[in-house]
Amino acid sequence: MQEAATPDAQGRPWKGQSWPRTATGRSSLVEPLPHHISCEALHVTFKADPSAVAKLLPPGLEPLDGGDGWVMIAEMAKVSTGNPEQIWRDPSRSSYNECVLGFYCKFGDRIGRYSALVWVDRDWSLGMGAIFGWGKRLGTIDRTRHQVTNPAFAGSDFTLGGTVSRYGRRVLDMAIDFKAGGEDLTALPGHGGSTFLYRYIASPSPDVGDIEQLFELGFTNVSMSGIRAGTGHLNFGDAEDEDLDLLGSVQITGGYAYQRGWTTDRKARLLHDYGAA
């Protein structure tokens, strides 16, 4: 789907998938969708008090009875179908790091995933968050690069980890111990289902209402490989204004490494418009 071209007062169309829009659209943070996305991820699962999880879910979404959640730190790649050569011509526009803290939850009888807090290290990834309703922030995200030719990984046991910081304060850190290289899995444990999106845009005028909506988004071309299970560790830091303290203590239930790929497009389905009443 191409973005709408909005004419200005002189009839010239303004283009771009996101702000900033111009007559050419080249300055837009987000290249035309769909985007093919892939990641090499570390993933720690946990359980929290459902009443605590509820504090990080938008109205209409309910936590599962087990308070199931996860933290993922990944090296990511994005390829816009509108500019497929960008991944090698300008890798800085296609490669980024991301951390997601999310929960399995339900809307009515539908179970899905909700990304409550997201940290990225590229502004154009922030632009994607504004379109779809992912609450992204800029941060410093690092993770172990597991290069098997490194002599440090010559043994069968190893530990991989990742960290997230903002403004010099630690947000969280995770680690996963893999004994004998980890247990090979055919699928990542957890619930299936699509992704819930909470989209909020504050109005600058008292005469115009805020935009507040709940969507459901399914991905296409989904594939996973190299899934290995280990023992997970997770610590929340002392960074202010992150709201991680709302979760209290959590129970770690697993740790995994994997590669995953999918396609993101503007095919979300509106579940609820909070302002429609």
Model confidence pLDDT, tens digit, residues 56-78: 999 999 999 999 999 999 999 99
Is the backbone peptide bond immediately before 20 cis, with ω within 30 degrees of 0? yes
| Residue 27 pLDDT > 70 | yes
Say how far apart CA 273 and CA 277 lie, in whole Å.
8
Residue 176 inside a domain? The answer is yes
Chain position carrying tokens 């709940």: 214
Question: For residue 22, is it within any domain?
Answer: no
pLDDT at 143 over 80: yes
Element (H, E) at 115: strand 110-120
Residue 5 placed within a domain: no
User: In the beta sheet, which residues pair with residue 45?
Assistant: 70, 254
Nearest to 46 by CA among 235, 260, 224: 235
d(CA 38, CA 70): 18
In a domain, 15, yes or no: no
Inter-residue long-range contacts of 135-140, CB under 8 Å, 24+ positions, other chains counted: 135/198, 137/166, 138/166, 139/99, 139/164, 139/165, 139/166, 139/171, 140/164, 140/165, 140/166
Range of the domain at 124: 30-273
**234-244 residue pLDDT tens:** 999 988 889 99
The answer as to whether 245 is a domain residue is yes
Stretch 142-149: mean pLDDT, rounded?
A: 94
Q: Residue 17: pLDDT band by 50, 70, 90 thresholds?
A: confident
- pTM for the model stands at 0.93
Task: Report the SS3 class of residue 92.
Answer: helix
Give the pLDDT score at 277: 63
Rounded mean pLDDT of 13-37?
Answer: 90
The answer to whether position 88 is within a domain reads yes
Domain with residue 262: its CATH number is 2.40.400.10
In angstroms, the CA 236 to CA 232 distance is 14
Give CA–CA dist 85/252, Å, rounded: 41
Quick: pLDDT tens for 70-107: 999 999 999 999 899 999 999 999 999 999 999 999 99
Give the pLDDT confidence of 154-203 residue by residue, as tens digits: 888 999 999 999 999 999 999 999 999 999 999 999 877 899 999 999 99
- 3 located within any domain: no
Instruction: Collect all residues with Cβ–Cβ distance below 8 Å to 206 and sequence separation of at least 6.
Output: none
What sign for the dihedral angle of Cα 274, 136, 25, 12? positive
Total count of domains within the chain: 1
Structural domain contains residue 46? yes
